[in-house]
């Protein structure tokens, strides 16, 4: 399946409508300095009000699948208790509209908009949040489970834990190493509990998954092997270990021993987390080059994330993230399609039975509308080279089931606000006019002809 992806807070707007409660991103983006230009998701792409025309847009692009996320605070405004009917109905209309147009809905339960009321009682540092998430999953499963046959629990728990509670670049903006590691665990507990609830409540013969953002590690310094091992443990194996093998990697526990003994992992948790899934969602944008910092030379901090002071690398703060060779996207991320091939092959070697879906890949560039068109040649080239890389991986035996381009629409790019455009469709934020970019037309041709245009 080939299609495109979005996330609720990045496109919906209408933050005070339909009974929606506040999320951590409403609170975080209200604080001056957190988001470039003081942007917030209050209006975003106004997708909430433009649902029908956005569905027609997806249809005109010929998308086979659409990956969207459900805003938890639309379903449970305070993060617990009775469901808010208007919120459920919004996603019901979205799903019905997709099905009516022959587009497969892929529903993500959590793409970062935690109800603020739950952050107020500890957020992901609290085990209770995982239990609340299971209740939310059961509500959504019961309501949409007769129509949605493809489910993802979490999007990029790496970001939720380490950027949300470690570096502070993302909501809720906390900078506590212990909080970040507790969040790593409670997010995964939430994943396991939610899968159980989905399986209990969904009535279609559905596929279940989780989406992870992997760090594809490079480095040829004498110390790079140690740096790669550390970041692989903290960023990659911290999630694939519990979810796919039922254990935390021993070296992760050692690397973080100065912060915690992981006593918050209770007996039975790993059994809950280690659930069978039908495919692994893979988000890929660029590579990461590391070595150990010698403590003396000026230190590079080019890990591709907004540098806001706190560290997203608890216990491995002495890893240096080196500037990588270009070309770059406007995020400053290096363009490295080989990294995608390498990642897909590596995952299928590590987990031979597990099909893969690329749930996000795409690029931000400076786009301009000229005479009703956007000639985003760089994005077309980026996508062509990454689709080719995915194809090479398939030729090498990778069981790749889908490719979802990030993103359908230009949108609220978290800490960067509206300053970065990832869409295959341009959005004029003053008028909300949508203009299909050349990359969108390119994707349409790819889907129709089943070959690289």
Does 128 qualify as catalytic in the annotation?
no
DSSP-assigned states of every residue in 333-388:
-B--HHHHHHHHHHHHHHSTT--EEEEE---------BTTBB--HHHHHHHHHHHH
Q: Is 71 or 139 the residue whose CB approaches ligand FCB more closely?
A: 71
DSSP-assigned states of every residue in 152-182:
EEEE-HHIIIIIIIII-SSTT----HHHHHH
Q: Is 202 or 356 the residue whose CB approaches ligand FCB more closely?
A: 356
DSSP-assigned states of every residue in 33-60:
TSSGGG--SSSTT-TTT-HHHHHHHHHH
Q: Is 269 or 360 the residue whose CB approaches ligand FCB more closely?
A: 360
- Among 12, 320, 341, 360, the one annotated catalytic: 360
Residue 375, φ and ψ in degrees, nearest 5: -90, 80
Report the SS3 class of residue 129.
helix
Report the SS3 class of residue 75.
helix
Q: Is 40 or 126 the residue whose CB approaches ligand FCB more closely?
A: 40
Q: Is 12 or 255 the residue whose CB approaches ligand FCB more closely?
A: 12
Residues at the interface with ligand FCB (CB under 6 A): 7, 10, 155-156, 159, 213, 283, 360, 406, 413-414, 422
CB of 362 to ligand FCB, least distance (A): 7
- Among 156, 320, 341, 342, the one annotated catalytic: 156
CB of 59 to ligand FCB, least distance (A): 23
Does 360 qualify as catalytic in the annotation?
yes
CB of 149 to ligand FCB, least distance (A): 22
Q: Is 305 or 434 the residue whose CB approaches ligand FCB more closely?
A: 305
CB of 251 to ligand FCB, least distance (A): 25
Q: CA separation (Å) from 127 to 131, 162, 188, 189, 222?
A: 7, 17, 11, 8, 40
Q: What is the C-alpha end-to-end distance of the chain, expressed in Å? A: 17
213: enclosing H helix or E strand: strand 207-213
CB of 81 to ligand FCB, least distance (A): 28
Find out whether 114 and 165 touch, Cβ atoms under 8 Å.
no
Sorted by sequence, the CB contacts under 8 Å of residue 198 that are 6+ apart come out as 137, 138, 141, 145, 151, 153, 206, 208
Sorted by sequence, the CB contacts under 8 Å of residue 100 that are 6+ apart come out as none
CB of 156 to ligand FCB, least distance (A): 5
Active site residues: 156, 360
């Amino acid at each position: 399946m080939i299609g495109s992806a979005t996330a609720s807070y990045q496109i919906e707007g209408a933050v005070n409508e339909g009974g929606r409660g506040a999320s951590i991103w409403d609170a975080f983006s209200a604080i001056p300095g957190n988001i470039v230009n003081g942007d917030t998701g209050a209006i975003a792409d106004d997708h909430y009000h433009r649902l029908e025309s956005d569905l027609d847009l997806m249809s005109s692009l010929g998308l086979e699948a659409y990956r969207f996320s459900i805003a938890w605070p639309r379903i449970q405004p305070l993060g617990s208790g009775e469901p808010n009917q208007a919120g459920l109905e919004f996603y019901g209309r979205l799903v019905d509209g997709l099905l009516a147009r022959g587009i497969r809905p892929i529903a993500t339960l959590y793409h970062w908009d935690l109800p603020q009321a739950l952050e107020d009682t500890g957020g992901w540092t609290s085990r209770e949040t995982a239990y609340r998430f299971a209740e939310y999953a059961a509500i959504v499963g019961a309501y949409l489970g007769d129509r949605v046959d493809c489910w993802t629990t979490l999007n990029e728990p790496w970001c939720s834990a380490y950027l949300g509670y470690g570096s502070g670049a993302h909501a809720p903006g906390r900078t506590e190493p212990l909080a970040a590691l507790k969040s790593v665990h409670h997010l995964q507990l939430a994943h396991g509990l939610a899968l159980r609830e989905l399986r209990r409540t969904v009535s279609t013969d559905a596929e279940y998954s989780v989406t992870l953002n992997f760090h594809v590690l490079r480095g040829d310094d004498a110390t790079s092997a140690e740096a790669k091992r550390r970041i692989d443990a903290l960023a990659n194996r911290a999630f694939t270990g519990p979810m796919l093998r039922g254990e935390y990697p021993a070296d992760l526990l050692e690397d973080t021993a100065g912060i915690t003994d992981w006593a918050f992992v209770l007996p039975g948790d790993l059994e809950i987390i280690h659930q069978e899934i039908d495919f692994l969602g893979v988000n890929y944008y660029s590579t990461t080059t590391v070595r150990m910092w010698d403590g003396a030379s000026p230190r590079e901090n080019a890990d591709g994330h907004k540098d806001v002071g706190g560290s997203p690398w608890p216990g491995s703060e002495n890893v240096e993230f080196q500037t990588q060779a270009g070309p770059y996207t406007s995020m400053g991320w290096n363009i490295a399609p080989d990294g995608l091939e390498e990642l897909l092959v590596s995952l299928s070697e590590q987990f031979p039975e597990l099909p893969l879906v690329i749930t996000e890949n795409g690029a931000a560039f400076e786009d301009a509308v000229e005479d009703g068109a956007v000639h985003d040649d760089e994005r077309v080239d980026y996508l062509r080279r990454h689709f080719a890389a995915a194809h090479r991986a398939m030729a090498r035996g990778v069981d790749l089931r889908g490719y979802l381009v990030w993103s359908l629409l230009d949108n609220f790019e978290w800490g960067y606000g509206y300053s970065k455009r990832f869409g295959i469709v341009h959005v004029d934020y003053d008028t909300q006019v949508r203009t299909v970019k050349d990359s969108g037309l390119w994707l349409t041709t790819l889907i129709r002809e089943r070959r690289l245009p």
